[in-house]
Amino acid sequence: MELAVRPRVIVGVGGRGAHPRVVDTAMSLARGTGAVLYAVDVRDDHTPGAGGPCGPPALQDAYHALAQASVPADDVDIRLVVTPGEPDETLLRLADRPDDLLVLGHSRQLPAQRVERPLALRCAARARCSVVVVPCEHPQGEA
């Protein structure tokens, strides 16, 4: 008997905070495809919090980002992932299957002094899976 591999929707909920529109989009896509939703908060080693960068406060932050969604999560299989690392490298490592769907936010209002490309665009350029870039109203929407 062959085991079916469920599709995955991977959404970034870390950084400066996930925009509710990004989480809503990921939740809707996961529900519509029967996918498992992985809510990923990538922390660098300098993120403050008890228990290290991936301790209980980090899990609370990821849970809070999901709780802000206006789309109900009742019938969606959700996994919280909090891990240290560089956001683009880590998200791309986790979204490693061709049938994965990576959902990221991108602000329409980017600071003029920004040197590097936004996370969503860096991931979209290098991903091995489909990427959905959700426009957000404010700079904190970069997830």
Q: 118 — phi, psi (to 5°)?
A: -60, 150
Beta strand extents in the chain (DSSP E only): 8-12, 36-43, 78-84, 101-107, 130-136
Measured over the CA atoms of residue 63, residue 66, residue 70 and residue 75, the dihedral's sign is negative
The pLDDT of residue 56: 61
pTM: 0.81
For the record, the structure tokens of 129 come out as 């899976």
Mean pLDDT score across all residues of the chain: 81
| List of residues 6+ apart from 94 with CB closer than 8 A | 10, 38, 40, 81
Q: What pLDDT digit, counting tens, does each position of 26-80 carry?
A: 999 999 999 999 999 988 765 555 455 555 666 777 777 888 778 777 889 999 9
CB distance 41 to 94 below 8 Å: no
CB distance 137 to 106 below 8 Å: no
39 or 16, which is more confident: 39
Whether the pLDDT of residue 84 is over 70: the answer is: yes
The pLDDT of residue 14: 77
Q: What pLDDT digit, counting tens, does each position of 130-141 carry?
A: 999 999 875 444
- Tell me 57's DSSP state: H
66 sits in which H/E element: helix 56-67
Percent of all residues in the chain with a pLDDT value above 70, rounded to a whole number = 76
